[in-house]
Structure formats: C-alpha cells, structure tokens
Structure 1
C-alpha cells in the first residue's frame, strides 16, 4: 500500500490575512506524513503593481501577464509570499523549502498559444519533476510551490496555482497515494452561496453534471472543479474542497470528489 501524500493548495484570500494564514499553516503543519503546499498571491501582486503604477489586466478572472507583470509576480509569488510561508512553517517545526517551477526544473511549461485572447507569459504545464520531489520528501523536506513555471529556455511563466496543484498530484500518484486539498474561504461546494453550511459533501461525475445544469457550479468554481476531476481521472486517490477545518481529521463539513 502506497504511503499517503497530501498536496494542499491555499487560496489568495488566506495568504493576505495574517491571522488566517497562521491558522492555516498550523493546520498544515499538523498533517501526518509527507506533504506539499502550493500557493498563489494574485491579490498581493495586484496591490504591488498598483503601488508601482503598473496596470493589472484581468479577463474572466485570469491575469494578462506582460513582461512587467512577470517581474511583479516573481517578486510577490516567488519572493514575499513564498518566503513568508517558508519562514512561518520553519517556526512550526516544518522543514519547508520554497520553490518555483524553475528551481530544480521542477515544473516545465510552454507559453499558452494565442487564440481569442493573448494571455502573455502564461504557462500551460508540460511536466513535473517527480523524481526531485520524491527525493526532497524522502529527506523530510516539505516543498512549498509558488505559481510560477518555466519554459526551459530562460522564461518564467505565470501558471494557475490550482492547475499546478493538480499536475503535481498526478505526477506523484505513481509514487504515493495522493490526496489533493483545495483550501479556500468557503466550507466546500455550496448549494446556496448565501448559506455557508449548505455544503455538498459528496460529488461524483453524475452529481457534478446535475449541479452544473442547476447553475450551482459556476464562475470561478468551474475551472477549479475541472482541475479536480482531471486529477481523479489520472490516478489521484481523492480530492477535497473546503476551508482550513478540512485539514482536521475530525471535521466532516467539506466536499469530497470522486469519479
């Protein structure tokens, strides 16, 4: 039986709230066994860009990444956000190791082709260096990934953190029994967006299509759920969505996805 590996993606609303981040990192540090953390930092990047007088262009929730924006996200994702998380985890007894996709050639990608919209320097993932991650985990080192990949030719690429978490989970599934957690401000997929306790606890493919038809799953949840089922279809053992309490084994109020 394969050892469990937990891959946790943390949402930007948690990162920018110091108290919420501390609560999350405490819960993450208590997870048994090897683990990997993936984070973004979009709101922090937007704040820094505004302070520097650099306009942020977001279309349908996706950031247009020109050369100036690549510099901003590298400073924020790979610098400020990543290193604050790493330092705070060290204080909690976790030997954390901050990474972008360029470090150790851990996540290689290609620039997204231009179709209806030119997203600029946005990366679509080609591969994850599972050997590197397995070696780090064997040394009891916890990788902390920011949402940056690279193209192998010297170019850093802005890459969706949900997608990075999904692709890491898939790549590691041949080595571990991988469980993917998407941790954000809601308790899970909600039947009623105004009722935080209206959590749909179990969603399989059939239920997913029902919720889509009913308009329960829409907007920003659509790409997140796509990543969830993509992971499950590629040997990831389990995918869960919820707030920080989901990481407590005694909590039952979150969403679990299965095929």
Structure 2
C-alpha cells in the first residue's frame, strides 16, 4: 500500500499575513505523513520592484519576467520568502529544506515560447526529479519549493506555483497516494465571489466546463482548477481548494475536484 503524500500550495495573501502564515505552518508541521509545500511571493516581488526602479509588467494577470524582474523574483521567492518559511518550520520541529527547481535538478522547464505575448523568462515544466524528492521524503526531510525552475542550461525561470504543485503531485503519483491542496484566503471555489458561504463543494469535469462558460471561474481561480483537473487526469488521488479550514478534521466547507 502506498504512503500518503500531502502537497500544499499556499497563496499570496496567506504569505502576506504573518498571523495566517503562522497558523498554516503550524498545521502543516503537525501533519504526520510526508509533505511538500509550494509557494510564490508575487505580491512581495511586485511591491519591491518600484523601490528598485523597475516597473512591474502584467498582461492578462500574468507577470512579464524580464531579466531585471527575474533577479528580483529570485531574491524574493528563493531568498526572503523561502528561507523565512524554512526557519519557521524548523522552529516547529519540521525538518524543512528550501528548494528551487535548480536544486538537485528537481524541476526542469523550458522558456515559454513567444506566441501572442512574450512573457520573458517564464518557464513551463518539462520534468520532475521524482527519485531525488522521494529520497528526501523518505529521510524525513520536507521540501519547500519556491516558484522557480531551470532549463539545465544555466537559466532560472519564473514558473506558476499552482503549476509546480500540480507537476510535483503528478510526478510523485507513482510512489505515493497524493492529495493536492490549494490553500488561499477564500473558503473554496465560490459561486458568488462576494458571498463567502457560496462554496461549490464538489466540481467534476462536466460542471467545471459549465462554470467556465458562465464566467463563475475566472482570473486567479483559473490556474488552480486547470492544474487541479490536469493532476486528477494524471494519477493524483484528490484535489482540495480552500482556506486553513481545509486541515480541520471535522470541516467539509471547501471545494473538492473529482473527475
């Protein structure tokens, strides 16, 4: 029987809120089974860019990562945010290790081809080094991945954290029973964004398409559901979307994705 593995991606608003992040990391540290945490840090990077004389560039909600922006993203994601999380987890007796995709050649990617928009040094994932990550987990070490990958030619790439979490879940699905969590400030996928109680508790492939056509799912929720269903179609056991209540045993007020 396969061992359970929890892969948790945390959203930017949780990273920005010290109290919420502290609560989440305590819950994460208390998980007995092997676990991986994935984070971004886009809001911190966006706030820092103008202070360094760099104008943030976004198209359709996605960051344009030019060379100067990539340097800032590297500092924020791989340094500031990652190492603070690792240090907090060590204080909670969770033996964490901070990682980018370049560390241990853990996540290879390629620079996104230019079609309608040139996203600069944005990466699309090609492969996961499952053996390395599996060995770390078996040693009782918890990987903390920032949203950076590499192309094995010396180039780091800014990569969507939702995608990294999904790719890790798929890459480790042969060795573990994987539950993928997308944890952010909302209670789950909401039918009405202004009503926190309008949680859609269960979404399958058919209802997902209907919600897309109705415009219920849009903007920041799109990559979570796209990657969630992609993961389910490629061996991941379960995908849950919600806030910190995801980890309360008696709670069912979150969204579960099913095929």
TM-score (structure 2 length as normaliser): 0.98
1:130 aligns with 2:138: no
Q: Distance in 1 between matches of 2:136 and 2:148?
A: 19
1:121 aligns with 2:121: yes
Q: CA deviation at 1:32?
A: 2.6
1:74-153 alignment runs, 5 A limit: 74-153=74-153
Q: CA deviation at 1:47?
A: 1.3
* Equivalence for 1:198: 198
Q: Distance in 2 between matches of 1:134 and 1:39?
A: 19
Give the match's secondary structure for 2:73: helix
* Equivalence for 2:255: 255
Q: CA deviation at 1:249?
A: 2.1
Give the match's secondary structure for 1:46: helix
* Equivalence for 2:180: 180
Count of matched residue pairs: 259
Q: CA deviation at 1:150?
A: 0.3
* Equivalence for 1:34: 34
Q: CA deviation at 1:214?
A: 2.3
* Equivalence for 2:215: 215
Q: Distance in 2 between matches of 1:176 and 1:12?
A: 27
Give the match's secondary structure for 1:38: strand
Q: CA deviation at 1:139?
A: 0.6
* Equivalence for 1:169: 169
Give the match's secondary structure for 1:179: strand
Q: Distance in 1 between matches of 2:209 and 2:103?
A: 39
Q: CA deviation at 1:182?
A: 0.2
Give the match's secondary structure for 1:70: helix
Q: CA deviation at 1:207?
A: 1.6
Q: Distance in 1 between matches of 2:64 and 2:80?
A: 21
**Which 5+ residue runs of structure 1 have no aligned equivalent?**
none
* Equivalence for 1:43: 43
* Equivalence for 2:56: 56
Q: CA deviation at 1:86?
A: 0.2
Contact 1:122 1:159 in 2 (8 A): yes
Q: CA deviation at 1:244?
A: 1.0
TM-score (structure 1 length as normaliser): 0.98
* Equivalence for 2:24: 24
Q: CA deviation at 1:216?
A: 1.3
Q: CA deviation at 1:198?
A: 1.0
Runs of 4+ in 1 over 4 A off after TM superposition: none
Give the match's secondary structure for 2:110: strand
Contact 1:31 1:247 in 2 (8 A): no
